[in-house]
Structure 1
């Protein structure tokens, strides 16, 4: 189990509040997430489902009831939409929450910790790194379809689970505050990274300005489109988008940019050897084609033009968040060693540089994919 291990006896007590079928054969840590503690709950009865139990990090998600209300709204909407699509399988393509005996989607234990349970989607897998153009294409289709299916969900029904999550202007403010406090004296060790962030602050605020000017519509977006948040089936076909904690109003460039950040990078998110970081253009092309196949009919011209801005913005935001957390004392992300967040920041900022150097090529790829999917009628409609 992860750091701060929880006694299995307590986990079993938590599970007793959920309407599980069968009985528990075993409990083990699961996944590689940074934020929550996740456990695989194996059922002793073969005819009954296995489950995933999560202890929600309420230091990150301060209002868990509103967070869970978001997830209920989104999963219900997706399930209703998919039920009308021939050949779709809502039970496989959407996460399913297991209610408590009190008919709640979560349980709060005696220690003030919040828990939830999902059905385990059997036979699926996720990847931290993309392994083929086919996987990249399926990731693009998955996140694109997710956006398209939620395009008619009223954004006013959703809460901001993390206020200003991708608001770069707010991230820059938090970054400045962390530098001013500098509680552990770490700013001196990150002078180059601090200068990198400061030099790009104005340009990286473009999407925020476009939104304020009404040039970009707010949509229901995922806001954490790492490739490992898509479950693929045994044939590497996209099956389900997961990790719905950050689904809330946002701009489509956020989802596209964050997905590209983890899809096309030739190295890991926290790569120590920066010369290994590069772009897999074949993966970029495949992801872009899959994404625009599902979304080109709903996006405006301004939104499509903003996608390339998102490509550099999201790794910049992630680098800035890692850097801020490093300076602030590693209060947000789980780390494996003292310099881990600084290493993550350096890797993300190097990716920004590589993307900047190839901006024209990436933009032409987006334009070419858009032209192949958009019809003259659709162009006229937007």
Structure 2
């Protein structure tokens, strides 16, 4: 905490700071609430440089996006510059920090609690995409391969090879033997899940190829539109998107698909009772109504045709990534217990299977909504 209190002095916060306290439990970044003698509060965040390899470029992307939203009359946070007039501070340990205004009287949710919130969330995602539809600038590709399923398959193959290699190498110490045994048992434990990954490989690559070829166009997208990345007011209406670290020029279908993964699932993404996990088709309908009320005007025919499938694509990718991290012994996502990533993977697979069974219904719902625009 002492580090955060010292770091905050490098940013041009006009009010005297009274306290710096940890806020929430993010998967990737460490976040702190900065309170001042005035009403205005701020967020101080240590960016994860092992995930975000070019944080200066990432912060420049965020600056461009927030300024564009503000120019459109939208609500978003304001970045706070350092005394060196940068959007980030790099400390003596090489860690990167950012600071921005805290938006008061807002709350976040891990999952949608009612249909009104689902619909409002759809409006929020659609509004973000719509606000950025007129953006004519350039954003850096700060996460090469993000949502690129061909790249994920390469990573996954590497994870499998490393796990198998560890199991075949002779241990040099008792501690190494324990680690390698753990890796081997993990891979054996999830062998059926590995089969689930490869059974859908061709289908998922076909979708990605449409994006790579430009048939599905690249636009500014958030790339992490789960419900917890939106702020709501006291009336449960979306205020704005947060956690803009992943904004890039990809396809907005990733935003739609990731939001459906979050909003249409009545349970958290790590729900342990996989038999309960399903995509609620009524939630899907409510979200789609909200989203298309803001975004239908700019989508082309290829985007409309593949909108429903994007939810399957993103859910599949998240299933693959949780499984891969479990096999890799939890090197990417934070876990609360040893099997956490495996539980996450199984939960996402159950959600994917539910979506697959309901894909025709999802397509019919979207077709009916599009008729109203």
Structure 1: distance between partners of 2:148 and 2:247: 14
- Paired residue for 1:108, among 87, 90, 96? 90
* Matched length: 354
* 2:112 corresponds to: 130
In the alignment, structure 1 residue 223 sits paired with structure 2 residue 223: yes
* 2:172 corresponds to: none
- Paired residue for 2:52, among 61, 64, 82? 61
Equivalent runs, 1:189-200 vs 2, <5 Å: 189-200=189-200
Deviation of 1:237 after TM superposition, in Å, equals 1.2
CA contact (8 A) 1:21 1:48 kept: no
Task: Map Cα deviations across residues 40-91 of structure 1 (whole Å, 9 max, x no partner).
Answer: 1122x2x341111100000000111011010011111111122xxxxxxx4x
Structure 2: distance between partners of 1:214 and 1:23: 50
Structure 2: distance between partners of 1:213 and 1:15: 44
Equivalent runs, 1:221-300 vs 2, <5 Å: 221-300=221-300
SS at match of 1:362: helix
Deviation of 1:98 after TM superposition, in Å, equals 1.0
Task: Map Cα deviations across residues 299-343 of structure 1 (whole Å, 9 max, x no partner).
Answer: 001101111110111111001011111111211111111111111
Deviation of 1:14 after TM superposition, in Å, equals 0.3
So what's the TM-score if we normalise by structure 1? 0.90
Task: Map Cα deviations across residues 238-289 of structure 1 (whole Å, 9 max, x no partner).
Answer: 1111111111011122111100000011211011110110222222111101
Structure 2: distance between partners of 1:108 and 1:281: 46
CA contact (8 A) 2:111 2:268 kept: yes
Structure 1, gaps ≥5 residues long: 1-7, 83-89, 374-382
Structure 2: distance between partners of 1:144 and 1:117: 26
Structure 2: distance between partners of 1:136 and 1:259: 10
Deviation of 1:99 after TM superposition, in Å, equals 1.0
So what's the TM-score if we normalise by structure 2? 0.92
Structure 2: distance between partners of 1:303 and 1:159: 23
CA contact (8 A) 1:252 1:307 kept: no
- Alpha carbons of structure 1 residues 32 and 305: separation in structure 2 relative to 1, 3 Å: farther
Deviation of 1:114 after TM superposition, in Å, equals 0.5
Structure 1: distance between partners of 2:130 and 2:270: 31
Structure 2, gaps ≥5 residues long: 167-182
CA contact (8 A) 1:38 1:54 kept: yes
Deviation of 1:151 after TM superposition, in Å, equals 1.2
CA contact (8 A) 2:309 2:359 kept: no
Equivalent runs, 1:1-382 vs 2, <5 Å: 8-43=1-36, 45=37, 47-82=38-73, 90=74, 93-154=75-136, 157-182=138-163, 183=166, 184-185=183-184, 186-373=186-373
CA contact (8 A) 1:108 1:115 kept: yes
SS at match of 2:234: coil
Structure 1: distance between partners of 2:24 and 2:189: 32
RMSD: 1.2
* 1:85 corresponds to: none
